[in-house]
A and B are shown apart, each in its own frame.
Chain A
Amino acid sequence: MDLNLNPQETKFRDELRAWLQSNVPDDWERHRLSDSMEDRFQFLCAWQKRVYEAGWAGVAWPKEYGGRGASLMEQVIFTQEMAAAGAPPMANILGLALIGPTIVAFGTEAQKKRYLANILSGEEIWCQGFSEPNAGSDLAGLRTEALLDGDHFVVNGQKVWNSYGWAADWCALVTRSDPASQKHKGLTYLLVDMKSPGVEVRPLRQLTGESEFTELFFRDVRVPAENVLGAVGDGWNVALGTLAHERATLGVSAQIAMRRQLDRLVELSREMCRNGHRASEDPLVRQKLAQSYVENEVLRLNQMRAVSKIIQTGAPGPEGSILKIGWSEANQRFQATAQEILGPYAQLTEGSDLAIDNGAWSYSYLRARGNTIEAGTSEIQRNIIGQHVLGLPKSY
């Protein structure tokens, strides 16, 4: 056990902190709650460009492709410091967190040169095309077909739940290239230009009222064969790489975002009245705030342990697979706690002058509902733990 940062990590953290102090925009909170989705996205693109130009994007990516060439630990420090400083997220979040690392792992030299730097600068925004209307939790049942025709694949099919599909220049698309194949075999991972003829993007309105997600339709879309990532027919392995990154990385920022909200909730509880005294003096409120803190700490520590395990051994340990269930369910409990402590005002949404923090709490309550579904449902995660970590027999 040694949780101290080494001198290099300390130096990295201090430099980053200093940069963030003078560069984090102070009007992000306002843009976050009041901008249209498109305006907010433009704001985030400008922010990512600034981060990139200052040399902070792609901390652990190789230097030759525009990254910083630093350690995974420094990447984690970057995520922690960004969140702790209240910095806006990166616009190209899927490119940075999921697709970029997959290209680093599976891409050809030409692909790395072609795509990586533009992901870091935010010049090209990425979405991912994995789920389909009939292939959600059962992802291996996907049917979007990609048939080789000369030096192109011809893609036909439909994808769904594509975050940032409306903003994307490129799509990481998992297809079935062998029509006779079943399940995990015969899949191919393609990098698809969203401007290709035959690609149609339709917004998908979610229960928060926003349209973060889209549906994507592909009709005879021609994709050059050189855009295959990994080998033809090996798409499942490549996609698993992306999913592993998704599970390993989403948790860090989710945990810190929750912690920041908890600190704000503590502050609000000191200002609010409940049964004639401050809410923060009410024993039940204190118990609930402390329980949120306990759960948040356990998330933070599980995450640290998982990162440490990856650094020591190169692979996530069993604790890696419990992170997704951990942050998603803890966030839902936390949002329910916040609603309860803040009382009737907490239900009010953005635009009402009575809403607390301009409706941030009603939004985060609704948004959290999706947490146990996106990036693999809690049920699927528990199946994975049961069958792949504990070695219980397969149930399907």
Chain B
Amino acid sequence: MHFGLSETQQAIKNSARQFLAAECPMPQVRRLMETETAFDTALWSKFAEQGWTGIIFPEKYDGFGLGMVEMAAALEEMGRALVPGPFISTVLLAGTLLDHAGNEEQKRKYLSAICRGEARSTLALLEQSASWDLDAVQLEGKGLPKGGSLPDGGYQLNGEKLFVSDAGIADFLLVAARIEGELAVLIVPGNAPGLEKMATPGMDLTRRLYRVSFTNVVASPESLLGRGERARQALEAALEVSCLGLVAEMVGGLQSLVDLTVAYAKTRKQFGRPIGTFQAVQHQCADMLALLEGSRSALYYAAWTLSENDPAARTAISVAKAYASEAYRDAGNKSIQVQGGMGFTWENDAHLYYRRAKASEIAFGDATYHRERIAQSLIDRQPSKREASLAAD
């Protein structure tokens, strides 16, 4: 048994750290934060050169063919550096959807473009209900007759999507819709007529959210990625992979919070000595470390089960997301508290992580959502004989 990164996995992590220290240091993060989309084309091209944009996809589609543990190791560093932009939206959400449900032609056209770093994308899933439950998808996709607005028929989309990350820079969107009552995913160009993208500014300044409305948006028959069970399975897979990647980022963010808080406690002096001398401060730092390491253990276990196609993966991902969601927020609180007034200033980096922690907590379901998922596997299994007899009474 080896519970830890292999030499290769550690090398991936180390090189990601070095690369990001050079290419995306905090001043760069703050510069991008002030832009409209928090996106930088030059930086994205460098990600592609590193192979990150195709990290988990087959080489056949210009991917890098690595596994979930390697992905988590790289994402941990991105979260540590607070990398802005559409990595999770494009690579993990859209990429995984295409990889799971796309036909050969769709993969060659769209997945390869993502892997090569030529296209940005995202998933438009949530609606007014703000529910991560796939049954909540309502956006209407109407089948068009052949010889109508499109010679081969197709679909007409009407409705609204909310909390769509990075939609503003997406070359194409993957849209969850309902066609004749059936769940479906369609590929819609970012500039499709009738598609409107409005920024909805949120707490996390490094990642933009949008409201996307669809007014008679026409999609060709070839744009259908999948329907029914195929669409559901692909969406579930994309959400699991993305959730795992997000937890990896969260662990990296936690690491950063621990590092910057401990560094402050060692140097800031009050009452003539470093505040880190005081146990009230030491104990907060110790708790932050425990939150970090617990999140990290849960992350790599989840990554490993997913890479092994272990049926335990679903619950393991929920455990990691439930734990890290509260851990990251809590560590953000402690970090700012330990740094006192300095921690509450705009110039201090703690609030950037505190903001990211909140957005990450919400994305792909918060702790309450994932605890209910865990409860379903822990509680709602086959009742024991004794329970069955009690129920019969």
Chain A interface residues toward B at CB < 8 A: 1-6, 9, 73, 266-267, 269-271, 280, 283, 286-287, 289-291, 293-295, 297-298, 301-302, 304-305, 307-309, 311-312, 318-319, 322, 325-326, 379, 381-383, 385-387, 389-395
User: Which residues of chain B have C-beta atoms less than 8 A from A379's C-beta?
Assistant: 279, 283
24 example contacts (A-B, Cβ-Cβ < 8 A) are as follows A3-B1, A3-B301, A266-B378, A283-B372, A286-B372, A290-B375, A291-B371, A293-B319, A298-B294, A298-B323, A301-B301, A305-B3, A308-B3, A311-B2, A322-B286, A322-B293, A382-B287, A383-B279, A383-B286, A385-B285, A385-B286, A386-B283, A393-B266, A393-B276
Among A3, A325, A387, the most chain B Cβ lie within 10 Å of the Cβ of: A3
Q: How far is the CB of B272 from chain A (nearest CB, A)?
A: 12
A395 to B279, Cβ gap below 8 A? yes
Assess the B304–A1 pair: CB atoms within 8 A: yes
Q: Nearest CB to that of B266 among chain A residues?
A: A392
Which interface class (under 10, 10 to 19, 20 to 34, 35 or more) fits B? 35 or more
Pick the residue among B69, B283, B379 that contacts A1 (CB under 8 A).
Answer: B69
CB contacts (< 8 Å) of B2 on chain A: these are 1-3, 308, 311-312
Residues of B within 8 A of A (CB): 1-6, 9, 69, 258, 262, 265-266, 273-274, 276-279, 281-283, 285-287, 289-290, 293-294, 297-298, 300-301, 303-304, 307, 316, 319, 322-323, 368, 371-372, 374-375, 378-380, 383-384, 386-387, 390
Q: How far is the CB of B288 from chain A (nearest CB, A)?
A: 9
Using known A-B contacts A267-B384, A386-B285, determine if residue A302 contacts B293 with beta carbons closer than 8 Å: yes
Query: Interface on chain B toward A: helix, strand, loop, or mixed SS?
Result: helix
Interface centre among B258, B281, B297, B387 (most CB of A within 10 A): B297
**Chain A: interface secondary structure?**
helix
Q: Choose among B262, B307, B316, B371 the residue with the greatest number of A CB atoms under 10 Å from its CB.
A: B371
**Closest 4 interchain pairs by CB?**
A386-B282, A290-B371, A308-B3, A301-B297
Q: Given B277, B287, B372, which contacts A395 in the complex, CB threshold below 8 Å?
A: B277
B1 and A9 contact, CB distance less than 8 A: yes
Contact, CB under 8 Å: B371 / A294: yes
Are B298 and A297 in contact, CB atoms less than 8 angstroms apart?
yes
In the assembled complex, the CB of B298 is this many whole angstroms from the nearest CB of chain A, namely 6
Residues of A contacting B379 with CB < 8 Å? 266, 269-270, 280, 286, 289
A239 to chain B, nearest CB (A): 23
Known: A318-B289, A382-B287, A389-B289. A4 touches B1 (CB 8 A): yes
Residues from chain B with Cβ under 8 Å of A307 in the complex = 1, 3
Residues of chain A contacted by B1 (CB below 8 angstroms)? 2-6, 9, 73, 304, 307-308, 311
A312: B residues at CB distance < 8 A: 2, 4
When chains A and B are docked, how far (Å) is the Cα of A9 from the Cα of B2?
A: 13
Interface contact B262-A390, CB-CB below 8 Å? yes
